[in-house]
Structure 1
Amino acid sequence: MYTDLAVFSGTDTVEETVAAIRLLCLPRGRVRIFVPEGQRDLDRERALMAKTAGAGVHISLDSVDPKSAGERVATEIAPGCETIVVVRPSGASLSLGVLERLLLKHAPVPVWFWNTPGGSDLTIVAAVDPDDYDRRRDGLNMESVDLATDLALRGGGSVVLVNAWQLDDEYDMRQNPFVGTGDDKIETARRALQAARASWLDTLAARCRRRGVAVEADLREGPREAVIPAVVEERNASVLVVGTMKRRGFAAMVRPNTATALADGFSGSLTVVPPGRAETESGGGSVSRIAAGVAFA
């Protein structure tokens, strides 16, 4: 999938780092490993280099001050890459520390919070959501779908597209004395919205199928923060891909960031895709570069 990785290495993530590199990095790729200053472990570094040698990648080592790691990723490394990956110890839930929050807030590229998938089946859930008031969401949804498809092709897995929908005006329709909408009209509006979402989700699913990936569309009524984790658990998904509009100020108050809400405590692999990423080849395709980070222990 990718050819350029920068790895921020923790203390107990050798196997996880190797697994991420083997799945995400193409042969002849370049891996830059950054180790926290004062925590150099030559035996561990030799193990990393030896275990990734078979993947046909070039490895270099460097050190970094953990206190400035987040700022350095945001200002120096991310602008020259197309993805950042933060690798966590297997089975560890995601805890949003300073580095993770900086990346979610500022990184101009997709951020992978990587937890090595268990088992042999690779299932990727991509959460998608239209937005009639912000057309950037259309491109963001396609980016998320294409990224999930790329990973499925690389790992021999399948994709589940999930959309959580709600009739946002239902409360006002019932309570507003000037509207006075009856139950029959509300139900008609709900069914119309559900049908429109189903048609839209099928269109995105067709985008995956055109590239030869097995895909299912999962449309559910309810809030995103409840529906998405439920689908991940029911499907025993290895990876969740979710877009973020990086709202600020009043917009963030009106519609909070779903990605941040999902990230804290998430136990699987989470990929957060921001708007505005350079498009890949038509219909999806591999991305050329990646910056990968391993969370400092």
Structure 2
Amino acid sequence: MDTTAALRTEHLSKRFGTTLAVDGLDLTVPAGEVFGFLGPNGAGKSTTIRMLLGLLRPTGGAAWIFGDRADDVQRAHRHLAYVPADVALWPTLTGQECLDLLAGVGPGTDLAYRDELVGRFALEPDRRAGTYSTGNRQKVALVAAFATRAPLLVLDEPTSGLDPLMEREFRRCIAEAADRGQTVFLSSHQLAEVDAVCTRVGILRRGRLVEVAGLAELRRLRRSEVVVDLARPAPELRRLAELPGVADVREVSDLRLTLALTGPPGPVLGALAEADVVRIDVREPSLEEIFLDYYGEVPA
């Protein structure tokens, strides 16, 4: 077993009656990585996280957190901090009292950094938690997690309830955590968020891991869109569809065509050199388009 991994699962499975929620999940997240865990509602993401946290007992397989079995909760939780999608706080305590209580149950907290984060997230720590909105409860949990010295941060839909300014602050905190060498396991349906902060992603579909790859590698698996603007019509370019790596060619007008490229651009560029080209734009697929492609859907 790789004891240097921050998080590892082997054949991890969970069945609820006749429903197989997680099916033979094999995953390794190295220490220091920012890993995105993607999938639609019902794919098994939250069930997986609950097993990683020792809150659910697997039907089969096992999980480890920095070499400690996840079902040994006392040992495994020495290595992690967790932010759920729906944060529940002690309603009669102030935000500051909640932060102090959370700091006492983890592996240590950087108090100066925590005070800085309170300001950056515009948190009002003197108010009672029972008066907080969903977003403010989320801020308390995020401040507590990012200020901790835990080597692994497990974040399950952590930005629900945050406005765009606070989402930007969240992304800054992810970058700072990575700079400190912390590992981040981010489960999210906000694909732009994952695209912005993660170095590698895993895509879960119906309880099965269908892909694990770096973002650059994942994009190379998908077609790029090439838009060509011409100074004059070039009917001969319709033959581009015959070139290797060209999946589709569409003539939008006499002076513009688009093509889908799945291979190296050399043959296409060679053919375009004979035409009177004004402009070429190459657009990589977004993470959302890649993700939807796994489900046989086309984004709107």
Using the size of structure 2 for normalisation, the TM-score is: 0.27
More helix, by proportion: 1
Structure (1 or 2) with the larger CA radius of gyration: 2
Q: Which has the higher contact order (CA 8 A, sep 6+)?
A: 1
Using the size of structure 1 for normalisation, the TM-score is: 0.27
